Chain A
Amino acid sequence: MKDINRRDFLKTAAIGVSMSVFGTKFLKASDESPSGYRIGILVDTDVCVGCRHCEWACKVAHNIPTASLESYSDNSLFKEYRRLDAASLTVVNEFENEKNPSLPVYVKKQCMHCEKPACVSACIVGALSKLEDGSVVWDTKKCIGCRYCMVACQFQIPTFDYDKPIDPQIRKCDLCYDRRKTEKLPACVSICPTEALLFGERDEILRVAKNRIKRKPDVYINHIYGEQEIGGTTWMYIASKSFDNLKMPPLGNSPAPGTSESIQHGIFAYFVPPVTLYAILGTIMWLTKRRSNENKENRIEFEQEKKGVDT
């Protein structure tokens, strides 16, 4: 009875492990991007006026308690660089404009919705997933709060409810998943007075961005942040000054999960490490056993010889 139980256990374990290995295939972020409609949002920092209405609209859309819209006209907040937190999924920061100090540059920050997201790759329970339209969303029910996504994200976007002792959640921009179900634009895009946030198909948005740079070469630098960065992002930026000075991390063009996943899905695929490990261990065991057997036989022979000599 005991033997059968042990075999059953191994069987289910093997199925479980193999499922988890093949399961990661669906979450694999470094795969080729699926074709079809991809959302693109262009942040034109030259057009943004820093009204912070997007911050207000975001909170309202995500049921986060907030003050009235009028209170957002207070611009003393801009004195300090602000980061995202669990209660603000997007923030606007002010940067100096050397060309005209009286008109500063404003940069909105939120999840970039990478084409090949590192957070999705890092999530061990598959709570985060990349949708067909390009948005990166997460499932609160699956999340175990390991915060691996926070470490993996190059833009330091996902935030954690540190204030909540019970059932804290990971939070980030979800491109207004619920609003888009009813054919509505994300709240920030919808409220923006100057359409500094331009929503459309990614290719079309890129075309518009390139056109704007071409039409105003003395205003914009020739760089669309997010077009190529870490394999491309859904949110893209154009600006009048270098993105390094706007606290946008300088990143290469290769997707972040590329290296880690090639190791994970290469070396670790198809039970290679455990099989190798057990094979080596087995060989060692077998060799030790053979040696001890040989020793035993030798000893027996020796003893027999000894006995023979004695007799």
Chain B
Amino acid sequence: MIFCILAISILFSQRVTHNYSGAGEEQVGRDIKIKPLKNHLNTSLKCKTCHISEYPTLKDPGLMSCPRHSMYGEFPSSEEGPEVVVIDEMSENYTGVVFYHRLHSEMSEMGVGCTDCHHFNTSGPVINCRECHSNVRYRENVSVPDLKAAFHRQCISCHKQWSHENGCSSQCHLYNTPENQKNLTKDLTGKKHPKRTEPTKIIYEINCEYGNKVTFYHDEHVNLFRIECVQCHSSDRCVKCHDKKIKLSDNSKTAKIEKSFEEHHKPCFNCHKENACQKCHAGKEMARFNHGKSTGWILKSYHNRLSCMKCHKNQMPVKRLDRNCNTCHKDFVYGKFDHNKTGLFLSDSHKNIECINCHDKNDFTKNPECKMCHNDKFHPAHLPGKKRY
């Protein structure tokens, strides 16, 4: 164990350089110049996301070495990003490529997002590939691929199937003259990826001892549970939709990929950790999620409009909460409580009476009663104020 820690510390000490050069500009690892995010103290980031040292200072920020496995990056939307990018970094050796950035960024929204290509990009501006990837192949530090490889890996990792068909110069390396480049750019401008259709409900029919039908409400997971696409679709590649081997006449355009039990259930198991197969596998189509039915707590007016996370603070899977108002509403204590928050603005005569006068035994889950003071008034026909919501 000690040896392991030692090894890691040696590794870091070799790879991290904290050279400070100029105002507000650090050098991380290789010669990458990164400006710190403006007002980055106010972001939701944890300090440890970027800083190793306990007490980072302006002179010695103690940043983690780059590249590393998971990085925080903020990117513009596909509309805000560039439409066409001309890649001619090594034009002295190779024919340049006119890359349609927008189409690709639209496609990436489905999967991993911008970080699929702009990997290891920290906050701030999008770093140019050549900042990390050397354009010399015969080099000493081979831990990072060279520029030629970096470009090709990004493209061919998806275009693997098609690269064979007509060779390099018929698909990507088309641009040779500035005029040609202009024409290509013109051709591509304005093109858009067709809108991705999202399913509302999928019923999987399978052979399974627990039940041969699995009902999956896709819209529920996206809109209600607010699960990001990446969480389930992280391993989806372009070939999932774009498989040339599948004829267009086929009903399904998507490729069927053999998956193991673990791979198949992984997206579900992310949240549904309980080992209860019958919850999903049933003999018939299952009903939509209903908070009242599943938990016994019927969501009414105000609560119904909240996102799950508003109450169930932690990420999916959610934890069961108790039913005391104070669990969420910390300020709901006598003296401090503002009744207006419930949506019922109490009239002046009711403002200063104690809770228990209307709410019997201080049980706020039950309907309030007026009989303590009024004989002829009942809830909810007669309200002690005005309802605003």
**In this assembly, does A50 line the interface, its C-beta being within 8 Å of a C-beta of chain B?**
yes
CA distance A215 to B138 in the complex (A): 24
B145 touches A (CB below 8 Å): yes
Q: Is A168 an interface residue (CB 8 A)?
A: no
Query: Top 5 A-B pairs ranked by shortest CB distance?
Result: A195-B149, A193-B152, A200-B142, A73-B167, A75-B164
Q: Are A208 and B167 in contact (CB under 8 A)?
A: no
Contact with A along B122-161 (1 / 0, CB 8 A): 0000000000000001101011011011001100100011
Across the interface, do A195 and B145 meet the contact criterion of CB distance under 8 Å? Answer: yes
Could you tell me the distance between the alpha carbons of A101 and B237 in the complex, rounded to whole angstroms? 13
Distance in angstroms between the alpha carbons of A47 and B164 in the assembled complex: 15
Which residues of B pack against A, CB within 8 Å? 69, 137-138, 140, 142-143, 145-146, 148-149, 152-153, 156, 160-161, 163-169, 237, 239, 243, 245, 255, 257-258
Do A199 and B165 touch across chains, with their CB atoms under 8 A apart? no
Residues of A within 8 A of B (CB): 47, 49-51, 69-70, 73-75, 98-103, 183-185, 189-190, 192-195, 198-200, 204-205, 207-208, 211, 215
* Residues of chain B contacted by A100 (CB below 8 angstroms): 237, 239, 257
Contact pick for B137, options A189, A204, A215, CB 8 Å: A189
Task: Determine chain B's interface SS by DSSP, over half rule.
Answer: loop
With the chains together, A49 CA to B138 CA distance in Å? 21
Contact status B137-A195, CB under 8 Å: yes
Residue of B146, B166, B167 with most partner-chain A CB within 10 A: B167
Contact between chains at A193 and B156 (CB < 8 Å): yes
Knowing A102-B239, A103-B161 are in contact, say whether A73-B166 is a contact too (CB < 8 A).
Answer: yes
A73 to B164, CA, bound (A): 5
Given contacts A47-B153, A194-B152, A199 and B142 within 8 Å (CB-CB): yes
A89 and B168 alpha carbons, distance in the complex (Å): 24
Q: CA separation between A183 and B140, bound complex, in Å? A: 13
B149, A194: Cβ atoms under 8 Å?
A: yes
Given contacts A103-B160, A200-B142, contact A215 B69 (CB under 8 A): yes
With a cutoff of 8 Å between Cβ atoms, the chain B residues found around residue A47 in the complex are: 149, 153
- By beta carbon, the residue of chain A nearest B245 is A102
Enumerate chain B residues within 8 angstroms of A189, measured Cβ to Cβ: 137
Q: Within 8 Å CB of A195, what residues of B?
A: 137, 145-146, 148-149, 153
In angstroms, Cα B165 to Cα A70, docked, is 10
A241 to chain B, nearest CB (A): 14
Show 6 residue pairs from A and B whose CB-CB distance is below 8 angstroms, ordered by the A residue: A51-B164, A102-B257, A185-B137, A193-B156, A194-B145, A208-B142
In the bound complex, do residue A50 and residue B164 qualify as a contact, i.e. CB atoms below 8 Å apart? yes
CA distance A192 to B137 in the complex (A): 10
Nearest to B154 among chain A residues (CB) is A194
Identity of the chain B residue whose Cβ is nearest the Cβ of A103 in the assembled complex: B160
Closest to B243 in A: A102
Q: Are B152 and A69 in contact, CB atoms less than 8 angstroms apart?
A: no
Question: What residues on A are CB-neighbors of B258 within 8 Å?
Answer: 98-99, 101
User: In the bound complex, do residue B163 and residue A198 qualify as a contact, i.e. CB atoms below 8 Å apart?
Assistant: no
CB distance from A240 to the nearest CB of B (A): 14
Task: Write the nearest CB–CB distance from A193 to chain B, whole angstroms.
Answer: 4
